[in-house]
Amino acid sequence: MQELKDTQNEPDHRNLSIDRVGVRQLRFPVQVLDKANSRQNTVATVSLAVDLPHHYKGTHMSRFVEVLNSHGPVLEVRAINRIPQELLKRLHAERAHVQIRFPFFLNKLAPVSGAPGLMDYEVIFELDVSKDCSDFLLTVCVPVTTLCPCSKAISERGAHNQRGLVTYSVRFLEPVWIEDLIRLVERCASSELFSLLKRPDEKHVTERAYDHPVFVEDLVRNVASASEAYPNLIWYRVEAENYESIHNHNAWAVIEKGGLPTPGVGSQVR
């Protein structure tokens, strides 16, 4: 068989290293642990990358896909800890980065009728690994309802509300449940969202939001306060964006608190 030229291994003379190079938007089936049913099958969008020294012209893109496929037709989320280590070895890299985004489903009961409905939430796992340090970041994206305190205070009839999105990222010492982080965020809003509401449920949700008005500032502070009381969290970042219903702009706020990642911390996932 004729030996093929390996262009990627040819030298590059521009003296510029690359921070991350790899593949993105790769869809792959994954299996996630949940509290209710033990396992949940979903489909993830995967990004895999490594650093590239200045003297190499390119990386070997096929090896990223080979590493992912080596875990079988379904990737258990707990196995993602091994992927960056394999990338370091296969691509002779000093640093590897893995991001896995997937929809996570919860069966939620309507608050009055008890009607069941599935709610989906975007979850992101990110691992940044070098030979002597491993950092894991867990993010949940939680849609909520917020009702404006100012509108309630100045209006004779009603108050404007809107859907908001809280992007909540954490580092931790011990594994945490995705569901627990979602519930933490939902409790901090004017109301949580449901996929199915009958009329009694809609009345309940509307009135609850009216009784619990929050600015976007209140929302991030509420989540931050709850994070301070949550065991094992060593760092958090809470970002809230309200898709305003009576303005042509969005309201936005962020709080970040905690130390920098330390070797070996935050590398455990459920």
Q: Parallel, antiparallel, or unpaired for β 75-76 and 18-32? A: parallel
Percentage of residues of the chain with pLDDT beyond 90:
76
> Per the domain annotation, does 1 fall within a domain?
no
The verdict on residue 265 lying in a domain is no
Residue 199 — very low, low, confident or very high, per pLDDT cuts 50/70/90? very high
Residue located via tokens 């262009």: 7
**Average pLDDT for 39-57:** 90
Q: How confident is the model at residue 166, as a pLDDT?
A: 98
Residue pointed to by tokens 């989906």: 120
How many H-runs (helices) and E-runs (strands) does the chain carry? Answer: 6, 10
Range of the domain at 177: 17-258
Bridge partners of residue 117, in order along the sequence: 108
**Could you read off the pLDDT of 58-90 as tens digits, one per residue?**
788 999 999 999 988 888 877 888 999 999 999
How many Cβ atoms sit within 10 Å of the Cβ of residue 62?
Answer: 9
Distance of alpha carbon 268 from alpha carbon 137, whole angstroms: 10
Copy the structure tokens of residue 245: 């219903």
* pLDDT average, residue stretch 236-241: 98
pLDDT value at residue 261: 54
Residue 166 lies in a domain: yes
76 domain-assigned? yes
Q: Is residue 270 part of a domain?
A: no
Question: Is residue 191 one of the residues assigned to a domain?
Answer: yes
pLDDT of residue 73: 82
What predicted TM-score, i.e. pTM, was given to this entire model? 0.89
pLDDT in tens, 179-189: 999 999 999 99
DSSP-derived letter for residue 195 is S
Domain membership flag for residue 70? yes
Does 266 map to a domain? no
pLDDT of residue 58: 78
Place of tokens 């190079």: 21
Whole-number Å distance between alpha carbons of 141 and 121: 6
Q: What is the CATH number of the domain that holds 53?
A: 3.10.270.10
For the chain, how many structural domains are there in total? 1
In tens, the pLDDT along 102-151 reads 999 999 999 999 999 999 999 999 999 998 899 999 999 999 999 999 99
